[in-house]
Amino acid sequence: MFTIGKLAQHYQLNVETIRYYQRIGLIRVPESQQSYRYYTQQDIETLNFIQKAKDAGLQLSEIQELLQLQLEDREQVRHVIQQRLDKIDQRILELNSFKKRLSTWLDECKTSNESGCPILKELKNR
């Protein structure tokens, strides 16, 4: 069993991160025993689940939803993951658009014979 400090150290997290997870309902708040709160193996497995899901790019709200599902809820799990993939695809489109705009500005700046920076002119005219 771990105290919150040992748990945080084990997962290389800040104690406040674990407390935040508790406030939003991702991890339970253990009962006090002799002025300490001890975390069980189940709490460790839950934190491990959270860390793996975050590493995979899931947001805390999505992780919370997945934690509430059973192993047999495959369709609902697929739904959560598909929604995340859709959001990632949308973000990729946005980033590609930003990249194209910035690249165009850079090319214009390199080739322009105008006085003054065409990038700043473009930004000021918007």
List, for residues 98-115, the tens digit of each pLDDT value: 999 999 999 999 998 888
How many angstroms separate the CA atoms of 19 and 126, rounded? 44
More confident residue, 87 or 36: 87
DSSP class of residue 26 equals: S
pLDDT at position 96 over 90: yes
Which band of pLDDT confidence, cut at 50, 70 and 90, is reported for residue 126?
A: low
The one-letter amino acid at 57: G
For residue 5, give both structure tokens. 């400090």
pLDDT digits (tens, 9 = 90+) for 27-41: 999 988 888 889 999
Chain-centroid distance of CA 93 in Å reads: 19
- Give the 3-state DSSP-derived string for 33-67, with helices as H, strands as E and coil as C: ECCEECECHHHHHHHHHHHHHHHCCCCHHHHHHHH
Rg value, the chain, Cα: 23
CA–CA separation, 13 and 39 (whole Å): 15
Least confident span in 8-12, 50-54, 91-95: 8-12
Q: Which amino acid is at 17?
A: T
Question: Cα(82)–Cα(72) distance, rounded to whole angstroms?
Answer: 17
Backbone angles phi, psi at 33, to 5 degrees: -130, 110
Give this prediction's pTM: 0.77
Tokens, residue 32: 């006090």
